[in-house]
Structure 1
Amino acid sequence: MASVARILLHSFAAASMIYGYQRLKGLPIDAVISAQYGGHLQYLTIQGLFLACFTTLTSLVIDLFPSTNFLKPLKRTLLIVSLPVSIVISTIYWTLIIFATHLILQNDGEPSSSSDIPQFTRLPLHMDLCLHAVPAISLLVDFMLFEKKYSWNELVYGAPAVSSVYTILYAWWVERCASFNGKFPYPFLDNSLEIRVAIYIGAGALALSSFWFINRLHS
């Protein structure tokens, strides 16, 4: 029964994430983003989606072909990266989308027909859920139900190292993309360098602390 549940979870999650990404190509904004330096990969959302999808597909291969147990260490390594990144993405995205839309969505440059309030580029809800909810939820369920807790050494040495390296690499990458594109992919980054550095550090700290907290909750 557990193996069937794992297969269903991983199949549904992977299919949903792939569907969400593929549907982006049918939106008008896709042409704009694709023409920019870094394309979709300048967005942490897309990087997190790829990581989560790769982790989930690795899990699915293990589910379908038990003889590939040698892939389990790879899955554990991927999870220590993809889970906290996905949690950060979902936490920041849904908080801002509800309370401060202008800080997370790009303005399409046109006011609405009934007011001077600018319109924001919104995704259809089903796509929004596939991109900004499914990765975090599916990885969290996978970890809590089908994975064992991470060890003390992994928590004290592995997780901080991964969080620090990824934070530095993404900060460098998004700053480089902005230098070519003339703007940041997320409006909340349109601030002074000092504030952006604080945001990067805060996101990295959130990723690490959330991972520690989730592992602590694991039975």
Structure 2
Amino acid sequence: MPRIAGISRGKPTSPEGHVCPTSLLGDPGCALLAVEAALGVLEFPSIGALRYTLNMADSLIHRHPLQRLPSPSRGISALVHLVGLSSFFWAFKYMHENPNQANQAYGWHFQYLTVIGLTLSTLTFFVGLLADITLSRRLFLVKNILSICSAPLEVLISVLSMSDWSSPNGWSFRFMPVRSNIRAFSHYDANFVLDLSFHATPSIVMLIDLLFLSPPWTITVLPALMVSGTIAFGYWFWIEQCFAVNGWYPYPIFEALPTEGRIGLFTLSAVVMALSTITLKWLFGRVNGFGLPTEPESRPGDIRRKEGL
């Protein structure tokens, strides 16, 4: 038998150096070792080395090398998604129990960008929780695709709400104007909790999911701008449709701006959302590593390369 890197092409052996008994060939480690040793494809000095390699390969298949925590999983990942969903459902519960003019209007509360983002985040985390429960890789992939839209949108909503783009009359992009009278929630602390639930918590939990429970995004600047532009101008067309039926805009600032101003507003929003996408991608790299490719190297025992085959 020829030898490569000090390992002989012999029969598959156990860690003690004995040939794998027939009874162990049903074990994936011994079975694969026997097949590959017979074919001369791979060489392992022991079953232990093979099993280590198999475990590492299985880990890479089920989790990206740059993904910080296991997901989908029934542990931390499921807990994060469950906590996020609890917060989202509480926000929807509040809207149902504290109706306003939007409850009876065309488009319901989906006229508000905040509620659209909240809905998309709810869908993202619901699919993520299903993936955790079933350990489905396909559902996990769907969750990650949805996250590319929902996470930057939630960051945009947080930026718009915290930037206090408001007029002296209290107009803003918040779901609820800062100076509005909120029935059953007139205390400042209650208002703060509501503001946190609608404008901060979704972006926070989406960031946790992205940075610790997801593989790195591969989206680049141009696709990010296309996605954000589609969402921004799609939302504009949607609220114009709602205005045609209801006769009022969800945010008074839209009434104050001419058509050219709205074009500029939504263009700026699309750019900010695209920038948030690229920033989140960069932040993931800062936290988990960028996974920069390395140049191929010749390794000891690489006979085929050395012989030019």
Structure 1 length-normalised TM: 0.84
Q: Secondary structure at the match of 2:250?
A: coil
Indicate yes or no: 2:157 matched with 1:89. Answer: yes
User: CA contact under 8 A between 1:7 and 1:60: conserved in structure 2?
Assistant: yes
CA distance in 2, matches of 1:204, 1:50: 19
CA distance in 2, matches of 1:70, 1:107: 37
Query: How much identity, in percent, do the aligned residues show?
Result: 24
Indicate yes or no: 2:221 matched with 1:150. Answer: no
CA distance in 1, matches of 2:208, 2:106: 35
User: CA contact under 8 A between 1:107 and 1:121: conserved in structure 2?
Assistant: no
Map Cα deviations across residues 150-173 of structure 1 (whole Å, 9 max, x no partner): 12xx22453222212111211101
CA distance in 2, matches of 1:58, 1:107: 28
**In the alignment, which residue of structure 1 is the partner of 2:131?**
62
**In the alignment, which residue of structure 1 is the partner of 2:180?**
120
Q: Structure 1 residues 176 and 6 mapped into 2: Cα distance closer, same or farther (>3 Å)?
A: same
Q: Structure 1 residues 100 and 137 mapped into 2: Cα distance closer, same or farther (>3 Å)?
A: farther
1:10 CA drift (Å): 0.9
Q: Secondary structure at the match of 1:25?
A: helix
1:54 CA drift (Å): 0.6
User: For residues 1-219 of structure 1, what are the structure 2 equivalents within 5 Å?
Assistant: 3=73, 4-27=75-98, 30-66=99-135, 68-96=136-164, 102-104=170-172, 120-122=180-182, 124-151=191-218, 154-190=219-255, 191-219=257-285
Q: Structure 1 residues 131 and 195 mapped into 2: Cα distance closer, same or farther (>3 Å)?
A: same
Provide the aligned length of Structure 1 versus Structure 2.
Answer: 205
1:181 CA drift (Å): 2.2
Map Cα deviations across residues 40-84 of structure 1 (whole Å, 9 max, x no partner): 111111110000011011111112221x11112211210111011
Q: Secondary structure at the match of 2:164?
A: helix
CA distance in 1, matches of 2:221, 2:165: 33
User: CA contact under 8 A between 1:90 and 1:136: conserved in structure 2?
Assistant: yes
Unaligned runs of 5+ in 1: 109-117
User: CA contact under 8 A between 1:21 and 1:131: conserved in structure 2?
Assistant: no
Q: Structure 1 residues 9 and 99 mapped into 2: Cα distance closer, same or farther (>3 Å)?
A: farther
Higher alpha-carbon deviation: 123-132 or 138-147:
123-132
| Matched letter for residue 101 of structure 2 | V
CA distance in 1, matches of 2:249, 2:95: 19
User: CA contact under 8 A between 1:81 and 1:162: conserved in structure 2?
Assistant: yes
1:125 CA drift (Å): 2.8
| Matched letter for residue 280 of structure 2 | I
Map Cα deviations across residues 3-52 of structure 1 (whole Å, 9 max, x no partner): 4222221111111111111111221xx24111222111111111100000
1:107 CA drift (Å): 9.5
Looking at both structures, which has the greater relative contact order when contacts are Cα pairs under 8 Å and sequence separation is at least 6?
1
CA distance in 2, matches of 1:131, 1:41: 13
CA distance in 2, matches of 1:119, 1:135: 22
| Matched letter for residue 88 of structure 1 | L
CA distance in 1, matches of 2:225, 2:175: 32
User: CA contact under 8 A between 1:87 and 1:136: conserved in structure 2?
Assistant: yes
Structure 2 length-normalised TM: 0.61
Q: Secondary structure at the match of 1:120?
A: coil
User: CA contact under 8 A between 2:115 and 2:175: conserved in structure 1?
Assistant: no
| Matched letter for residue 63 of structure 1 | D
Root-mean-square deviation over aligned CA pairs: 2.5
Bigger share in helix: 1
User: CA contact under 8 A between 1:84 and 1:207: conserved in structure 2?
Assistant: yes
Q: Secondary structure at the match of 2:216?
A: coil
CA distance in 1, matches of 2:267, 2:251: 16
